[in-house]
Amino acid sequence: MDSTALAGVRVVDFTWVWAGPYCTKQLADMGGEVIKIETASRLDTVRREPPHKDGEFGINRNATFSFYNRNKLGCTLNLKTPGAMELLTELISTCDVVVENFAPRVMPSLGLDYPSLKAIRPDIIMVSLSGFGGAGPYKDYVSYGEHASNFSGLTSLSGLAERPFGDQSALSDQTVGLMGAFASVSALHHRAKTGEGQRIDVSQYEAMASFLPQGIMDYSLNQRIRERQGNRDDILAPHDVYRCSGDDQWVSIAVATDDEWAAMANAMGHPEWSLDERFSEALQRWSNQDILDELIQEWTEQHTHYEVMHTLQAVGVAAVATLTSDELMEDPHIKDRGFFVEVDHAEMGPHMLTGPSWKMSETPGRIKRGAPLLGEDNEYVFGQILGFPSDKLDDLTERGALH
């Protein structure tokens, strides 16, 4: 028996690129049967780039696609071909959730807006993820993660004041994906109590703006526009990233109390710093961050990032090494928790993927399979789940419907 949290939940996945697939990835990791609908006539952009480790491009040999689409079943349907919509209608009638991240005009143009889906299955849950949401004067504007980060105000607060805005596009896509997954589970809980489905409209820029309370409240209360301040904090000091010995090694350090600062100064071999009137209390440290950061970096540059982390953590100071991808995969703590999971793939071969981001004692998520090849599960979904005879599927294949 499948003990995963979403076992028995079936999802039709129309998503592509990053934000939508990240949403449905969460549902698949938690045991949902996610069926990804694609067409060879218009491939998911991420299927084509970047290439696999051997440098060859291929629609099934893609590291990013593998990460965002593991645990999913893959089907091809060309909805412009006669017969394809019949299959899709049958499939939707057996599903609990439909997820898409097209521009708001796309699903209605296909005859797949919420009223149409509700006519197929009255308690269906439809999740729409778009840049500006499904209503409002900008609803049809084209948008990607980078644009949502800009429009939400995030990039205006990211980076150093003397440098251009920092790009946060990946964060934006993953944030809206997580919110879409959370909303999906909430709607499933509501349906279990009431029997009612619903439409969920997730705006990418609104998802990002909800993470910016300081800037919004500062303007709302004080009519003051916040500026970029790099890694520094409004209250804590020191609070920054410091260069260490070695090639491009860094460590992040944050001190919350005077006691932590005294412990840090002592660990660095300079207990007198905690008595220095420039640094003895939080306000003084915050007001003298330039000289404080110089002194700290003079010490960190004599040690590796791991040495600094372990030395300061031993005395209760929040310090964490800034890791590269290879360091992350080899870190003993990460290995001990089993975060990375090896997955075998028909064309890419064995490779490592990150596991679920949370661990549940009774209904843990897991990686059961890698990302699907294009159309890999057509026979299982349309033949076994829906019960269409093989001769009809063969005919639809010849006519290009399963393409």
Catalytic annotation, residues: 173
∠ CA 126-388-5, nearest 5°, is 40
Whether omega for the bond prior to residue 115 falls within 30 degrees of 0, making it cis, is: no
Angle at which helices 169-194 and 19-29 cross, to 10°: 50
Cβ atoms of residues 147 and 210 within 8 Å: no
How far apart are the C-alpha atoms of 268 and 270, rounded to whole Å? 6
Closest CA to 69 of 11, 4, 6, 21: 21
Cβ atoms of residues 126 and 39 within 8 Å: no
| DSSP letter, residue 111 | T
The token duo for 52 is 């696999």
User: Using CB atoms within 10 A of its CB, is residue 305 exposed (0-12), middle (13-18) or buried (19+)?
Assistant: buried
How far apart are the C-alpha atoms of 37 and 372, rounded to whole Å? 11
> What are the strands of the beta sheet with 73-76, ordered from one edge?
73-76, 33-38, 10-13, 97-100, 125-130, 198-203
Bridge partners (DSSP) of residue 240 are 253
